[in-house]
């Protein structure tokens, strides 16, 4: 069975339990995607005879409402003062189909096979709407994930506060989100630095957590650069 | 012709040149400050507010420069002030509302009760509701949801009630859903909670609430409270109630009509019975 992620020559088709995708040449190029009860069909005129399918930042569906992703840990992780902890969790995936061009900026289609949910981080007054996901924290990378639905998050936590801390959630910004993929998995690597007052700073590393992975297209960063002077990191000031 | 040459009255050519230099330099400095302000405030305030602040500073600077230039030209500022006082009174009466709107515009700029693209209601419950299009120094323009462009003087905006629907990132809406007494309220609550959980825009946190609010005359009233992003709450509010009705019906739970049982002290004789007796 071929792999979904990567560059594909037209004609191309993919069929799995909950995804059917085909790009066929019949005069013009016909694109068709079926996920659940949703069917998307498009006629395309393309110069090159290939498409790209990449996992992307999970912040585009059902609509672009936020640039922040919250992953709630199903059980808290306790980190002692001055200690470092590396854990693994999962994150939801969105998949983008691109026409293979030089710029390669605008996706032809974006879809997701995971449940979409939003939440609020912080207060109603000054909080942040986040895309929501929950995951079990694990000491080893989770195995047997469906790489069309979930990716592996490698999270390095460093507690620089004077007390031990319980970590219940992590919020990541899409502005610096780098996602990597290979034939079997999708992954990203992030770090969380806990400071005094149960606040922390999170950022996503521009480095693959596992060897031999390719970097996926970053459509969110290309579309929406943060305002000048605004940090690409996320400051968790309403609890961790 | 030297710099000491008298041009008119006691004003020399030097005074004239000096006053021109003061005005020219002030205009240049005022422009510089105005541009600098715009650059400094960019990203920290909306374009409209930056424009109002920079114009205000520019006018303030030019006015000060004019006063200095006039004093160089030997204009008696005190006399000008007296004349200005009379003129001020006349203009004051004539332009009372304009000045009032202007000052309100400046206060609105600093207080920032709303920004461009915020959805607001001005005044009481029946006031103008719409999306802010522009905040100018004299007036604010709002586009109502009927697509009507409304220009409102800043004095009215500033002195009236302002409800900003997008000031907070999330807002709550609620329904009252009645079910029959013979239906299982626990089951109905579970069905509604599951439906809310399926809706991406219904926020996970603050958590939705579904509970028995009242044991009514005809129905058990369930209160449903849901939080949603402020930008999208209405879309969710529109679709969720319809889907709650549908999902409850699919699960055999019905929303009852108002009903009342009436007992008569004496048995009623129906029309049919009457006819039977006469025969």
Q: Which of B43, B170, B197 lies nearest to residue A129, judging by beta carbons?
A: B170
- Cβ–Cβ gap B170/A124 under 8 Å: yes
Q: What is the pLDDT of residue B40?
A: 81
**pLDDT band of B93, cuts 50, 70, 90:** low
As given in the structure block, the two tokens for residue B269 are 């004789």
User: Chain A to chain B, count of Cβ pairs less than 8 Å apart?
Assistant: 45
Q: What confidence tens digit (pLDDT) does each residue in B203-233 have?
A: 999 999 999 999 988 899 999 999 999 989 9
- Cβ–Cβ gap B170/A119 under 8 Å: no
Burial B117-135 (b: 16+ CB within 10 A, else e): ebbbbbeeeeebbbbbbeb
Beta bridge partners of B15: none
**Residues whose CB is less than 8 angstroms from the CB of residue B22 and which lie 6 or more positions away in sequence, other chains included:** B65, B68, B69, B72
Q: CA separation (Å) from B225 to A57, A86, B126?
A: 31, 39, 25
Q: Mapping DSSP to helix (H, G, I), strand (E, B) and coil, where does residue A209 land?
A: coil
**pLDDT band of A103, cuts 50, 70, 90:** low
Closest CA to A124 of B169, B226, B205: B169
- Reading phi first (left if > 0) and then psi (alpha if -120 to 50, else beta), residue A201 is in beta
**pLDDT band of A1, cuts 50, 70, 90:** very low
User: What does DSSP assign to residue A206?
Assistant: S
Q: How many CB atoms lie within 10 A of CB A135?
A: 20
Closest CA to B237 of B249, B225, B246: B225
- Cβ–Cβ gap A129/B168 under 8 Å: no
Q: Distance between CA atoms of B155 and B60, rounded to whole angstroms?
A: 22
Q: Which of A116, A126, A229 lies nearest to residue B200, judging by beta carbons?
A: A116
With tokens 């005190």, the residue in question is B78
Interface test with A, best of B200, B207, B233 (most A CBs within 10 A): B200
Interface residues of B toward A, Cβ cutoff 8 Å, are: 43, 168-171, 197, 200-201, 203-206, 227, 229, 231-232
The angle, 0 to 180 degrees and rounded to 10, between the axes of the packed helices B77-94 and B47-72 is: 140
Closest CA to B140 of B48, B55, B46: B48
- Cβ–Cβ gap A118/B200 under 8 Å: yes
What is the distance in angstroms between the Cα of A128 and the nearest Cα belonging to chain B?
7
The DSSP annotation for A125-183 comes to: TT-EEEEEEEE--BSS---S--TTTEEEEEEEEEE-SSS-EEEEEEEEEGGG---EE-S
Residue A235 φ/ψ, nearest 5 degrees: -95, 115
Closest CA to B101 of B131, B135, B126: B135
Question: Would you say residue B27 has pLDDT above 50?
Answer: yes
Beta bridge partners of A200: A194, A236
User: What does DSSP assign to residue A105?
Assistant: -
Complete edge-to-edge strand list for the sheet that includes strand B139-144? B149-153, B139-144, B128-135, B119-122, B162-164
Q: Distance between CA atoms of A19 and A204, rounded to whole angstroms?
A: 29
Q: What is the pLDDT of residue A93?
A: 93
ipTM score above 0.95: no
Whole-prediction pTM: 0.75
Q: CA separation (Å) from B191 to B169, B237, B253?
A: 28, 17, 10
Beta bridge partners of A156: A86, A191
Q: Distance between CA atoms of B56 and B36, rounded to whole angstroms?
A: 14
Q: Distance between CA atoms of B239 and B200, rounded to whole angstroms?
A: 12
Q: Which helix (H) or strand (E) holds B266?
A: none
- Cβ–Cβ gap A119/B204 under 8 Å: yes
Q: How many CB atoms lie within 10 A of CB B143?
A: 15
Q: CA separation (Å) from B221 to B105, B183, B224?
A: 47, 12, 10
With tokens 């996706």, the residue in question is A107
Q: How many CB atoms lie within 10 A of CB B159?
A: 10
What is the distance in angstroms between the Cα of B228 and the nearest Cα belonging to chain A?
9
- Cβ–Cβ gap A124/B201 under 8 Å: no
Q: What is the average per-residue pLDDT within B255-271?
A: 77
User: What does DSSP assign to residue B68?
Assistant: H
**pLDDT band of A102, cuts 50, 70, 90:** low
Q: What confidence tens digit (pLDDT) does each residue in B108-165 have?
A: 888 888 888 889 998 888 888 999 998 888 889 999 989 999 999 988 888 888 998 8
Mean per-residue pLDDT of chain A: 87
The residue among B144 and B47 whose pLDDT is bigger is B144
A1 touches chain B (CB under 8 A): no
Residue of A nearest to B204 (CA): A119
Q: What is the average per-residue pLDDT within B177-199?
A: 94
A62 touches chain B (CB under 8 A): yes
What is the distance in angstroms between the Cα of B236 and the nearest Cα belonging to chain A?
13
Q: What is the pLDDT of residue B66?
A: 84
Q: What is the pLDDT of residue B80?
A: 65
Q: What confidence tens digit (pLDDT) does each residue in B49-89 have?
A: 777 777 778 888 888 888 888 888 777 666 666 766 777 67
Q: Distance between CA atoms of A172 and A231, rounded to whole angstroms?
A: 12
Q: Distance between CA atoms of A169 and A42, rounded to whole angstroms?
A: 39
Q: What is the pLDDT of residue B56?
A: 78
Q: Distance between CA atoms of A9 and B25, rounded to whole angstroms?
A: 67
- Cβ–Cβ gap B229/A65 under 8 Å: yes
What is the distance in angstroms between the Cα of B118 and the nearest Cα belonging to chain A?
15
Sign of CA dihedral B242, B248, B250, B256: negative
- Which residues in chain A have Cβ-Cβ distances shorter than 8 Å to B201? 62, 118
């Amino acid at each position: 069975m071929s792999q979904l992620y990567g560059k594909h020559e037209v004609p191309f088709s993919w069929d799995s339990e909950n995804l059917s995708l085909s790009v066929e040449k019949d005069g013009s190029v016909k694109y068709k995607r079926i996920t659940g009860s949703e069917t998307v069909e498009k006629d395309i005129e393309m110069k090159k005879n290939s498409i790209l399918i990449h996992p992307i930042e999970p912040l585009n569906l059902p609509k672009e409402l936020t640039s922040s992703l919250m992953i709630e840990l199903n059980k808290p992780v306790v980190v002692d003062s001055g200690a470092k902890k590396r854990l693994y969790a999962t994150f939801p995936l969105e998949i983008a189909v691109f026409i293979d061009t030089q710029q390669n900026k605008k996706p032809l289609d974006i879809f997701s096979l995971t449940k979409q949910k939003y939440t609020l981080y912080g207060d109603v007054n000054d909080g942040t709407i986040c895309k929501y996901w929950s995951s079990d924290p694990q000491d080893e990378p989770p195995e047997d994930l469906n790489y069309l639905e979930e990716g592996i998050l490698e999270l390095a936590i460093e507690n620089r506060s004077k007390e031990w801390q319980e970590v219940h959630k992590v919020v990541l910004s899409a502005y610096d989100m780098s996602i990597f993929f290979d034939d079997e998995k999708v992954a990203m690597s992030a770090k969380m630095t806990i400071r005094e007052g149960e606040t922390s700073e999170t950022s996503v590393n521009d480095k693959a957590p596992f060897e031999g992975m390719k970097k996926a297209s970053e459509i969110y960063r290309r579309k929406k650069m943060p305002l000048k002077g605004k940090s690409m990191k996320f400051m968790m000031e309403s609890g961790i | 012709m030297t710099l000491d040459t008298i041009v008119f009255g006691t004003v020399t050519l030097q005074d004239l040149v000096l006053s021109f230099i003061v005005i020219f330099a002030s205009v240049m400095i005022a422009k510089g400050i105005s541009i600098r302000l715009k650059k400094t405030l960019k990203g920290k305030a909306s374009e409209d507010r930056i424009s109002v602040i920079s114009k205000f500073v520019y006018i303030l600077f030019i006015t000060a420069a004019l006063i200095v230039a006039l004093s160089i030209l030997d204009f008696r500022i005190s006399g000008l002030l007296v004349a200005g006082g009379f003129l001020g009174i006349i203009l004051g009466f004539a332009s009372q509302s304009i000045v009032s709107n202007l000052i309100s515009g400046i206060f609105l700029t600093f207080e920032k009760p709303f920004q461009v693209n915020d959805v607001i209601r001005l005044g009481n419950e029946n006031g103008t509701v719409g999306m802010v299009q522009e905040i100018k120094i004299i007036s604010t323009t709002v586009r109502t949801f009927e697509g009507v462009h409304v220009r409102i003087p800043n004095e009215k905006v500033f002195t009236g009630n302002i409800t900003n629907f997008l000031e907070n990132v999330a807002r709550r809406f609620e329904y009252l859903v009645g079910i029959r007494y013979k239906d299982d309220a626990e089951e109905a609550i579970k069905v509604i909670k599951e439906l809310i959980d399926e809706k991406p825009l219904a926020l996970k946190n603050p958590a939705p609430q579904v509970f028995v609010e009242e044991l009514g005359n005809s129905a058990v009233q369930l209160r449903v409270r849901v939080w949603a992003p402020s930008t999208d709450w209405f879309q969710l509010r529109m679709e969720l109630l319809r889907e709650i009705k549908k999902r409850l019906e699919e699960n055999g739970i019905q929303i009852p009509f108002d009903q009342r049982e009436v007992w008569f002290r004496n048995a009623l004789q129906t029309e049919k019975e009457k006819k039977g007796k006469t025969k």
